[in-house]
Amino acid sequence: MVKNDHVRTYRDLQEHIEELDKAGLLHRIECPINKDTEMHPLVRWQFCGGISQEERRGFLFSSITDGKKRNYPGFKVGVGVLSSNPAIYSIGMNCPESEIGQRWLNAIANPVPVRPVDKAVCQEVVLTGKDVSGEGKGLEALPIPVSTPGFDTAPYFTAGLWITRNPDTGIQNMGLYRGNLKASDRLCVMTEKATLAGAYVHWKRYRELKKPMPVAIVLGAPPVVEYTGPQKLPLDVDELTVAGGLAGGPVNVVKCITSDLLVPAEANVIVEGLVDIEFLEPEGPFGESHGYIQIEEYNFIVKVTAITRRKDAIISSIISQVTPSESSVIKRLAYEPLYLSHLRDALGLKGVKRVCMHEPLTNLRKIVTVVVDRNMPKTEIWRMFEGVSSLQPAVGKICIAVNEDINPDNTDAILWAIAYRCNPVEDVHITPYRALGHAPHTSGPGIESTMFIDATLKFDMPPVALPKKEYMENARKIWEKLGLPALKPQEPWFGYSLGIWCDAWDECAARAAAGDWTANGLRSGAAARRMEEPQTFIEIAEAEKFGQNEHKTDN
């Protein structure tokens, strides 16, 4: 338990960063770094520079400048500190990596109501009125980075949590949306209407009521709160209560200065404002998580009414855009166990072993591979496909089923299964009328379709053509003894049976490994016969009989 003025069961961002430092998962950057041209490109290299996932780190910048050579005293910026890899994420969740999936399921099933407090560190400094308007004030005084230098038209909130409230039920919603800074006291926000983002639904209702919509933007939230923002939860669920479920105790909240919205008390910065219900403003271009630049589009306008913060604040910024990225790690570690539970528990598909969302470039949602038991009936495989593609409109454009011998994280292995275990005329099905979901704007059709690919084994096949495991393991010992480059085995790295194999061939292989291959020649020579055509397949029962007498004589 973390001690504070208000007893809590979760770490704030400052404490989380200290834990990363202790674990050797943090780079502290003390030299001046330009937030507009250098910060995100520097961290981006660990996602596209051939660095393994385990070697990625969080970055904490303490000397920040910008394109106008301004400085930002009293602020630090953390990039990659939330989920550059699963180890960082697990520290934020305060649980082992192996327990992350179950922690999410328990939190969603058992939300914990928030705990209001009267005093909070997120309001140590309060700026309103003329203090948030004018050059160098308000949003301009915050060290918000440019995410994609050369394409983005402004700094963006990439880890900002946007809190709104349903005016009819009073239930708050919290979502992670991109926020385009426009002026010291104005910004724009994109909330997806296709997936019915909570802020979009609330805005529609406020427009009917002819009232501007209050909003609070949370920067530098405690990690368990930050992780909850990107998840797709029902509209009538307050994400802060699910964050409490993750933490195993209530999230402390405080009322905003200019509205009745409740925000996390241990946040670093809160931007309060009102969303215009009449006018929309061009927003973008911006590098989006689907891997393309999102061109300008009309989106919501927010007029800033207050900015509150800690005296020494840390602002978190997420590496997104082309995946893998920090944002894709955040989503993947929560989405995969949720989908596995949906298929196995809600739909009763007991043959489902694992759900894997493809991360590099495709950003998780579009391509989903499901590992199923070899004996799972075809009817259940197709019911599984429907379950994957229908849970969320943005997930499951291409769904692939494979068996347990195929590593779903290895695209080459998946293509191998499709190439030799899938008969397209029988095992591929395309369903029309799918929403575009999270995708770049193009002039193409406004709807897509869904593809199901059954790449499971439908019949026995010969073994995988690699040396058996014991020979590969022995060779690895020799490799390491010789001091050769460190190995990173990629499945499959040894051969195994897929059904078409017999003891006679095993015996032949053992004799060959022992150097006694001529005995195998005697065996096959005894089976020679007159035939009209070559390449006639030998049945296993026939192979077992070949050269039995010669075999006994040789041994």
Q: 18-55 pLDDT, tens per residue?
A: 999 999 999 999 999 999 999 999 998 998 888 888 99
- Could you tell me which of 200, 251, 202 has the C-alpha nearest to residue 226? 251
Give, in order, the Cα–Cα distances in Å from 439 to each of 196, 248, 359: 15, 36, 15
Report the b/e string of 2-28 with b at 16+ CB within 10 A.
eeeeeebbbbbbbbbbebbeeeebbbe
- Lookup: tokens for 134: 């004018």
What residues contact residue 451 under an 8 Å CB cut-off, 6+ apart?
397, 398, 399, 428, 429, 430, 431
Q: What is the pLDDT of residue 371?
A: 97
pLDDT at 328: 79
| Distances from the Cα of 147 to the Cα of 86, 296, 316, 318, angstroms | 22, 16, 12, 9
Strands of the 75-79 sheet, one edge to the other: 26-29, 58-61, 75-79, 313-317
Q: Which domains are delineated in the chain?
A: 13-317 (2.30.110.10), 347-454 (3.40.1670.10), 469-554 (no CATH)
Average pLDDT over residues 441-445: 68
Is-contact 233 242, C-beta < 8 A? Answer: yes
Q: Strand, helix or coil at 291?
A: coil
344, 389, 432, 191: CA torsion to nearest 10: 160
In this prediction, residue 3 carries a pLDDT of 41
**For residues 497 and 174, what is the distance between their CA atoms, to the nearest angstrom?**
50
* Residue 552: per-residue pLDDT: 47
Instruction: Assign 4 a pLDDT band (cuts: 50, 70, 90).
Output: very low
Q: How confident is the model at residue 2 (pLDDT cuts 50, 70, 90)?
A: very low
Mean pLDDT of 426-438: 87
Q: Which DSSP symbol is given to 8?
A: B
Q: Work out the percent of the chain whose per-residue pLDDT is above 70.
A: 96
Q: Which two tokens stand for residue 36?
A: 């507009």
Contact 233, 239 (CB under 8 A): yes
User: CA 460 to CA 540: how far, in whole Å?
Assistant: 12
| Each residue's pLDDT tens digit, 296-349 | 899 999 999 999 999 999 999 988 887 777 777 778 888 898 899 999 999 999
Report the distance separating Cα 344 and Cα 350, nearest Å. Answer: 5
pLDDT, tens digit (0-9, with 9 covering 90-100), for 149-165: 888 999 999 999 999 99
Kindly state the tokens that stand for 41: 């490109």
CB 319 within 8 A of CB 284: no
Q: What is the pLDDT of residue 6?
A: 58
Mean pLDDT of 466-472: 92
Indicate the SS3 state at residue 510. helix
Sign of the CA dihedral with 323 first, then 326, 332, and 335 last: negative
More confident residue, 438 or 341: 341
Q: Is pLDDT at 551 greater than 80 in this prediction?
A: no
pLDDT band at 17; cut points 50, 70, 90? very high
| Omega before 212 within 30 of 0, i.e. cis | no
Rounded to whole angstroms, the Cα distance separating 68 from 36 reads 9
Give the model's pLDDT for residue 553: 40
pLDDT band at 1 (very low <50, low <70, confident <90, very high): very low
Q: What is the 3-state secondary structure (H, E, C) of 405-469?
A: CCCCCCHHHHHHHHHHHCCHHHHEEEEEEEECCCCCCCCCCCEEEEEEEECCCCCCECCCCCCEH
155: left (phi over 0), alpha (psi -120 to 50) or beta: beta
CA 414, 419, 423, 425 torsion: positive or negative? positive
In this prediction, what percent of the chain has a pLDDT beyond 90? 70
Out of 330-334, 449-453, 466-470, 512-516, pick the least confident. 330-334
The pLDDT of 177-188, averaged and rounded, is 94
Is the pLDDT score of 410 beyond 70? yes
Per the CB < 8 A criterion, the answer to whether 384 and 402 are in contact is: no
Q: Which of 82, 270, 243 is nearest to 173 (CA)?
A: 243
pTM: 0.84
Residue range 244-270: mean pLDDT, rounded: 97
Per-residue pLDDT, 334: 83
More confidently predicted of 531 and 274: 274
Residue 548: pLDDT band (50, 70, 90) is low
Question: For the residues 11-20, what does the mean pLDDT come to?
Answer: 97
User: Is 58 within 8 Å of 25 (Cβ atoms)?
Assistant: yes
Arithmetic mean of pLDDT over the chain: 90
Please tell me which residue, 514 or 194, carries the higher pLDDT value. Answer: 514
Q: Which residues are bridge partners to 288 per DSSP?
A: none
Q: Are 221 and 207 in contact (CB under 8 A)?
A: no
Question: Which stretch of 264-268, 323-327, 393-397 has the lowest confidence by average pLDDT?
Answer: 323-327
Instruction: Kindly state the tokens that stand for 200.
Output: 């979009």
Q: What are phi and psi of 528, to 5 degrees?
A: -60, 145
DSSP-derived secondary structure for 215-277: EEEEES--HHHHHHTTS---TTS-HHHHHHHHHTSPPEEEE-SSSS-EEETT-SEEEEEEEEE
Tokens read off for 187: 């910004």
User: What is the mean predicted confidence (pLDDT) over 370-392?
Assistant: 94
